Amino acid sequence: MKWAYLKGMGLAVIVSAFFLPSYMKLEHTGNNIFYVTLNGVTVGTSAEEDVEALVRQARLQVAGESKAPVMLEAEVSVEGEEVYFGRVDTEEVIVANMAEVMKASEVETLARSYTVKINDFTVNLASSQDVLGLLNAVFDQYDTADQYGVRLVLDPFRELNVLTTQVTNQEEEQKKEEADDFHKTAGVDACLSQTDGVLESGREKEFSDYELGLISMAYGDSVEVVEAYLPPEDVTPLQEAIERVTKKQEKNKIYEVVAGDTLSQIAEDNGLAMDRLIEINPTIENESSTIRVGDEIIVTAPEPELSVVRQEQQYYEEDYDSDVIYIDNDSWYTTERVTRQEPSAGHRRVVAVVSYRNDAETGREILKEEVTMEAVPKIVERGTKTPPTYIKPISGGRLSSGFGRRNAPTKGASSYHKGIDWATPIGTAVMASCDGVVTKAGWGSGYGYVVYIDHGDGRQTRYGHLSKVLVKAGQRVSQGQKIALSGNTGRSTGPHVHFEILIGGSQVNPLNHLS
């Protein structure tokens, strides 16, 4: 039976050979089947060695299934073999297998997002709608009627595609559109008649003619928006972004003292406790420290990351005081003054444009005023002569070296100190101790930058080791006028101000002459 089976098989092969459409002689042609692996995983068997086209198709398939760019690792290897019989996979099967391997080896999926930059602060949001939501939320604190909106436009001053903000007045835009439509339909005559109607009344505005409320709004900081592709974890939810941008943070600002200022008033105006004001200002020792016009004081002002500047047209009634009227008396010293008339407040009705930055008022322009009761001004007679006294040339500071004999603090320095030193940070305002004429302003060898002031009658003051001189020789200065900034120039062991008083050409102890 076995022999009969073998004979039958052989006969079948011979008969089949005659009925085949073609016959090829068996030859060695090299590798004719290729095993393809992707990232170490077998993805199929191909009859072609070049499978780069299949890799590209798989990449496109994976990318098409994602809304954002996808980073993939795709290391392909192909190993060939020569076989007489074998099975190969279709291109569709190989591409599908490659796509599955690629999905499993995604490096990182980047989400399309928008980066909002406000000064040095940045936040990433998921969409342009979120950006507009953030920007409008900043306005919503002050624009309860949604009168103003914002749109994103290309920044014309930037070469790259950077977006910036454009604030719009919704009501004005609607009126403009209606006016444009009217002009198109009614023609030039109707336009002119409308203009005549606006100008027909030449009367002065009454209080009732003013439209009160918000009249302008803008951002007080630079805003830039750029499109970016970021990992999802780097994108901030809208509500969290609003909280971060609108939350007020303490930021240091410099306030320059003006006439009439007191430390307590400066602290109150800036929402600071007196202890805090003293803490952040090294030149202020306590609440009784002297301050002078021109002094620069650090104050903190809580502000959000993105500020809003706006103007409101307001009507109010108030009591007001007239400006003080001064009568100068050239025979009196400046320390002498007498009130010749006591003041009395008046009353007035006002329409004004009030400017704000966030919640702080920054300016006020009166448009219409009606006085219902005149104020009586205060009249003061005052002296104009400077008294023959000296004042301390700086606010604060620590007395670090007295007048007279001492151990030389540094090589080359004199063992007899001709003045006194106050240790104070570089940049502290230095004032004229008494009025006079500047005789020297510049470099003074071991004293570094110096200022000499002649006060007449053989009296002179000198200020040394300065960082910056603010006056020039021949200039007349008044007592308390800022003349320089403290420093550490010349032969000096640290930041301080050196101060001398000379009478009759000889140095005297300044502490005996300061008032």
Got the DSSP string for 271-331? T--HHHHHHT-TT--STT----TT-EEEEEEEE-SS-EEEEEEEEEEEEE-PPPEEEEEEE
- 215-243: per-residue pLDDT in tens? 999 999 999 999 988 888 899 999 999 99
Q: Report if residue 390 sits inside a domain.
A: no
Residue 95, CA distances (Å) to 37, 54, 244, 426 in order: 12, 6, 47, 72
Domain C-terminal end among 84, 109, 134: 109
> Residue 134 is encoded by which pair of tokens?
């953030």
- Using pLDDT thresholds of 50, 70 and 90, give the confidence band for residue 334: confident
DSSP per position, 60-106: HHHHHT-SS-EEE---EEEEEE--SS-----HHHHHHHHHHHHHHTE
Q: How would residue 114 be classed by pLDDT, with cut points 50, 70 and 90?
A: very high
**Same domain, yes or no: 175 and 280:** no
> Which CATH number is 362's domain given?
2.20.230.10
Q: What is the largest CA-CA distance in the chain?
A: 152
Confidence of residue 200 (pLDDT cuts 50, 70, 90): very low
Evaluate whether residue 195 is within a structural domain.
Answer: no
Q: Is the pLDDT of residue 491 over 70?
A: yes
What pLDDT does residue 411 have?
53
Does position 385 have pLDDT exceeding 90, yes or no? no
DSSP 8-state code for residue 343: -
pLDDT over 50 at 21, yes or no: no
User: Mean pLDDT over residues 38-49, rounded?
Assistant: 88
Q: Which residue has the higher pLDDT, 315 or 362?
A: 315
Could you tell me if residue 17 is inside a domain? no
In a domain, 191, yes or no: no
Task: Please tell me whether residues 97 and 138 are part of one structural domain.
Answer: no
408 CB-side CA count, 13 A: 7
Tell which wins on pLDDT, 163 or 8: 163
Closest to 500 (Cα-Cα) out of 426, 446, 433 = 433
Whether residue 117 sits in one domain with residue 241: yes
Q: Of 92, 109, 126, which residue sits at a domain end? A: 109
Tell me: do 150 and 233 sit in the same domain. yes
In a domain, 19, yes or no: no
Number of domains within the chain: 5
76 and 116 both lie in a single domain: no
Q: What is the CATH number of the domain that holds 454?
A: 2.70.70.10
- Cα separation of the two ends of the chain: 139
Query: How far, rounded to the nearest angstrom, does the alpha carbon of residue 114 sit from its chain's CA centroid?
Result: 19
pLDDT bracket for residue 415 (50, 70, 90)? low
Query: Are 138 and 81 members of one domain?
Result: no
Q: When comparing pLDDT for 248 and 319, which is higher?
A: 319
Residue of 188 and 343 predicted with greater confidence: 343
The rounded mean pLDDT for the chain is 84
Final residue belonging to a domain, choices 335, 361, 385: 385
Distance of alpha carbon 360 from alpha carbon 301, whole angstroms: 10
**Segments forming the whole domain that contains residue 371:** 309-385
Same structural domain, 149 and 73: no
Look up residue 217 and give its amino acid: M
β-bridge pairing 325-333 and 379-385: parallel
Amino acid 194: pLDDT: 41
Residue 197 lies in a domain: no
Note whether 465 and 478 are same-domain residues. Answer: yes
pLDDT of residue 301: 72
How confident is the model over 252-309, as pLDDT tens digits?
788 899 888 889 889 888 878 888 888 888 888 888 888 888 888 988 777 899 999 9
Residues 145 and 166 in one domain: yes
Q: What is the mean pLDDT of residues 39-58?
A: 89
Q: Is residue 483 part of a domain?
A: yes
Question: Is 244 found in the same domain as 123?
Answer: yes
Beta-bridge mates of residue 213: 313
Asked if residue 322 and residue 283 are part of one domain, the reply reads: no
Same domain for 340 and 354, yes or no, is yes
For residue 257, count other CB atoms closer than 10 A to its CB.
Answer: 18
Indicate the SS3 state at residue 385.
Answer: strand
Q: Is residue 203 part of a domain?
A: no
One-letter amino acid at 183 equals H
Is the per-residue pLDDT at 190 higher than 70? no
Per-residue model confidence (pLDDT) at position 199: 35
% of the chain surpassing 90 pLDDT:
41
Q: Are 11 and 3 in contact (CB under 8 A)?
A: no
3 state SS of 187: helix
Instruction: Give the residue-averaged pLDDT of 56-85.
Output: 80
What residue type is assigned to position 215 of the chain? I
pLDDT of amino acid 373: 95
